[in-house]
Amino acid sequence: MRLFQTRLRPVLYLCAVLLVALPVLIALPQHAAPQAGIGPLVFAVDPAQSTVHWTLGSSLHTVHGTFALKRGRLQVHPVTGKASGEIVVDAASGQSGNDGRDKKMHKDVLESGRLGEIIFRPDSITGKLETQGKSTIQVHGLFLLHGSEHELTVPVEANLAGDHWSGSAKFRIPFIEWGLKNPGNWLLKVEHSVNVELELKGTIQAQAAQ
């Protein structure tokens, strides 16, 4: 019996130590394993796969037209929401299917002969940008039109799949409020804002880790 008690004593001692130490261990702050930081995503826009459509309502009918995209490259940080880069549209490429109307648009409204680019430069996003799959975000930036910059927030539906991406956006440009000439007259009344629809596609060129 005495031999059994002698052998049992160390076991009981160890159990007592564990009972005392366990609450202390639980109270200590727990640290998760560090995760690799997500760096900025770099998006290259493919002009050949991207489109710019616009519509302008008038007292007679709705005018439909297009512009050609010249180039685009964006950098977006999914964690901080910071953005940079630019999307550039060829102002001189605008057309509506009517030569007379298009000539007036380029000469009197856009003055595309000397102001040949329409540019959007993003500076931040709100909403969660998923590194793969679909996301709904708001992109804020400066819109350069007819030589003047204007703040603009654009709602964007984005989809990232592997090293490719696509994005769509619908927004209104109050071009008359922004100082462009009203193309209407006493007979033809036009709306003061033009509706724009973007469909962009391209590749994700890099993901820089922090």
Q: pLDDT digit string (tens) for 72-105?
A: 999 999 999 999 999 999 999 999 999 999 999 9
Two tokens, residue 127: 């909403």
Q: Which domains does the chain have, with CATH numbers?
A: 41-207 (2.40.128.110)
Q: pLDDT digit string (tens) for 25-59?
A: 344 443 333 334 568 999 999 999 999 999 999 99
Q: Residue 8: is its pLDDT beyond 90?
A: no
pLDDT at position 139 is 98
Using a cut of 0.85, tell me whether the model's pTM lies above it. Answer: no
Torsion region of 165: left, alpha or beta (phi above 0 gives left; psi -120 to 50 gives alpha): beta
d(CA 45, CA 55): 23
| Cα three-residue angle 127-55-175, rounded to 5 degrees | 75
Q: pLDDT digit string (tens) for 142-200?
A: 999 999 999 999 999 999 999 999 999 999 999 999 999 999 887 889 999 999 999 99
Q: Can you give the length of the chain in residues?
A: 210
Q: Residue 14: is its pLDDT beyond 60?
A: no
Going by their DSSP bridges, the two strands 83-95 and 133-145 should be labelled as unpaired
d(CA 189, CA 173): 17
